[in-house]
Chain A
Amino acid sequence: AQSVTQPDIHITVSEGASLELRCNYSYGATPYLFWYVQSPGQGLQLLLKYFSGDTLVQGIKGFEAEFKRSQSSFNLRKPSVHWSDAAEYFCAVAGPGGGNKLTFGTGTQLKVEL
């Protein structure tokens, strides 16, 4: 069965600093990978996704993520964090070829210090 691990429950960074949120997955083949952001009391917004091709994907709000098959990782990065980026971030995996359910990690809560 597929699974997702986000090892960092909470992360605090200063505004303007760089950010990397870790995500490791377990899946038998090349998965479809996603990063979502959730602001308090809100639904989830898709930041970026990886299906195939270039392993470095660009998303919205200046985020990017890199798929590393050898490490089973899909870490999210941003070179300079803004105070408005404070939110909870979820990594998710789904199987290709019609496996429609998303399996989510437990999330990383990002706090941004001014």
Chain B
Amino acid sequence: NAGVMQNPRHLVRRRGQEARLRCSPMKGHSHVYWYRQLPEEGLKFMVYLQKENIIDESGMPKERFSAEFPKEGPSILRIQQVVRGDSAAYFCASSPPEGARNNEQFFGPGTRLTVL
């Protein structure tokens, strides 16, 4: 059983461009979480999604950031008009429906975004 997959692993963008980060949850997992890790900091929650629904987006910046988890395909974290402060590692985690109740989340390897 493959783990949580994220791609790309490394992404370089210039200021003002768009960044699209993809996350494929583990097989059988229907809950996806996105976290951001800034340099020298711990992970900060961004958003929690189930298939076709955003459950909790309390950690998402108000502008330029959006997330989706369609019925088919991976979850996408989209950052429009990137700025240097968006440079960070973005981690996706997934959990099965029963796991969501006790918060056992399985993490992917992360996407490291660098904004030039």
Contacts and interface: CB of A to CB of B under 8 A. Distances in A.
Contacts of B33: 100-102
Contact of A43 (B95, B101, B108): B108
A98 B48 CA distance: 12
Contacts of A101: 33, 45, 48, 56, 58-59
Contacts of A103: 45
B48 A100 contact: yes
* Interface range for B: 20 to 34
Interface string A87-98: 000101010111
Interface stretch (A11-19, A45-53, A65-73): A45-53
A100 B91 contact: no
B107 interface: yes
Contacts of A42: 109-110
B100 interface: yes
B41 interface: yes
A44 B56 contact: no
B53 interface: no
Report which residue of A32, A44, A46 has the largest number of chain B beta carbons within 10 angstroms of its beta carbon: A44
A43 B4 contact: yes
Contacts of A44: 43, 91, 93, 107
A101 B109 CA distance: 18
A90 B45 CA distance: 14
Given A42-B109, A43-B107, A98 B101 contact: yes
Q: Which 10 pairs across A and B sit closest by C-beta, in order of nearness? A: A104-B42, A101-B45, A94-B103, A44-B107, A43-B107, A43-B109, A106-B42, A104-B43, A100-B48, A32-B103
Interface of B: 4, 6, 31, 33, 35, 40-45, 48, 55-56, 58-59, 91, 93, 95, 100-110
